[in-house]
Amino acid sequence: MRMPHVERGMSVGLFGGSFNPPHDGHALVCEIALRRLGLDQIWWIVTPGNPLKDTRHLLPLAKRIRLSEKIATDPRIHVTAFEAGHRIRYTADAIAIVQQRNAGVDFVWLMGADNLKGFHRWQHWQEIANSIPIAIIDRPGSTLSYLSSRMAITFDHARLDEDDAMLLPRMKPPVWTFIHGPRSSLSSTAIRNAGDKAK
């Protein structure tokens, strides 16, 4: 339930989600982000539940944490559920408290491209974009979504060329980049549906 330890001057990626369940596609996003952004750490933030998603089939938080720890094997990745400890439901609030409590650390919000299409539905989405650099990692079927998404159109002026992604953590928001790379076709929804059919 606690935030991982960091030192001033570090660059840290924040990768939040329900992880219901976590899978190798999530680990691949982190691997790409570590390499392309030169991050010192990634916080894999297991949320109590996404306000925009159906929570009827949500695995218990403790189980999602355990499963995430099994998949996130890179020592630079730290699994945390601090949102539950602070009773936080929304990403904007999570980012605010992380930045407030970790002065001198450069944070980047990480997300798969599959989340970009609906990013404008997140509470205070423009506030998020104005408060933290954002790295969007390519996902199958979502490569072109950034072209038409409301976020990409609204913040088109703040897009950083992918070739300069290593500069992102130290830049002042709003700034974002879209990173192409190896893609995994795995999805939590597909895994859950396959499990339901097997019962």
Secondary structure (DSSP) of 16-40 = EE--SS--HHHHHHHHHHHHHHT-S
pLDDT reported for residue 140: 72
What was the pLDDT predicted at 141? 62
**For residues 68 and 22, is the Cβ–Cβ distance under 8 A?**
yes
Task: State the helix-helix crossing angle for 24-37 and 61-71, rounded to 10 degrees.
Answer: 60
Q: What's the pLDDT at 120?
A: 94
Sequence-ordered strand ranges (E) for 60-194:
77-80, 106-112, 134-137, 176-179
pLDDT of residue 144: 64
**Over the range 80-117, which residues count as b (16 or more CB within 10 Å of their CB) and which as e?**
bbbbbeeebebbbebbbebeeebeebbbbbbbbbbbbb
So what's the pLDDT on residue 55? 74
Rounded CA-CA distance 18/133 in Å is 21
Place of tokens 């404008």: 120
Helix (H) or strand (E) holding 154: helix 150-154
Domains and CATH numbers, the chain: 11-198 (3.40.50.620)
User: Would you state the pLDDT for residue 115?
Assistant: 86
pLDDT at 57: 83
pLDDT along the chain (199 residues), means of 10: 95 96 93 97 92 81 97 96 93 97 98 88 97 91 71 95 97 96 53 45
User: Which pLDDT does position 129 carry in this prediction?
Assistant: 98
| Spatial distance between the Cα atoms of 33 and 179, rounded to a whole number of angstroms | 8
